A and B are shown apart, each in its own frame.
Chain A
């Protein structure tokens, strides 16, 4: 299960709508080993594409250095699909490089840049195997580990 607070959830949805029709991407990071999605980091989609995203290599290094310095790790790795459902593509599965992370997909295919509900789904992607998990949106993250 992914537990995420409402503010972070709303910010991810807002980012996806803002960048539509280009895929939006980013992370929510937290303390190593705690599985707490605490700090949202919007990333630039260097591919600038409606069907592909990639972090710029300099941004990527800077991000991981920052996480290292702060004893943080990626908890959620999110991106949007702008014309298809919020389910990992073959590309998503092949390139999933963080076995410990929750992979969140948001689909903006229905309302694009406009207000309206989006599909917001979370998955584990480990060794090419996709497992969907439930998403619990809370006012505030619980203090216990969510596992």
Chain B
């Protein structure tokens, strides 16, 4: 089951500069584990342990076929062969 994952500039240090890498998994959580196996360190940039379990980091946006995963189950969002994942860091900040 092949899924294409588009990697943002800031995370390409983990993928040897590659803009897109293949991954596998039936849901987002499994895909992230698959990414980690090939690109050690990347998982920690995407998820964090909130005590009650692993969650997607607040300022990381992940899209499956252009849909924000937060609306379709977050880490449990299901994937099928040929799906495309896009990872984008939030553009955010402010005086606070």
Contacts and interface: CB of A to CB of B under 8 A. Distances in A.
Contacts of B63: 57, 61
Provide the main secondary structure of the chain B interface.
mixed
B95 A95 contact: no
How many A residues are at the interface, by size bracket?
20 to 34
Interface string B40-64: 0000000000000000000101010
A53 B68 CA distance: 19
Nearest to B19: A68
Interface of B: 8-10, 59, 61, 63, 66, 68, 70, 86, 88-96
Given A27-B91, A57-B90, A79-B94, 10 more contacts: A47-B92, A47-B94, A49-B94, A51-B95, A52-B92, A54-B92, A60-B61, A61-B88, A81-B95, A97-B90
29 contacts: A23-B95, A49-B94, A52-B94, A52-B96, A53-B94, A54-B90, A54-B92, A55-B91, A57-B68, A60-B61, A60-B91, A61-B61, A61-B68, A61-B88, A64-B86, A79-B93, A79-B94, A89-B93, A89-B95, A91-B92, A91-B96, A92-B93, A95-B59, A95-B89, A95-B92, A95-B93, A96-B93, A97-B8, A97-B10
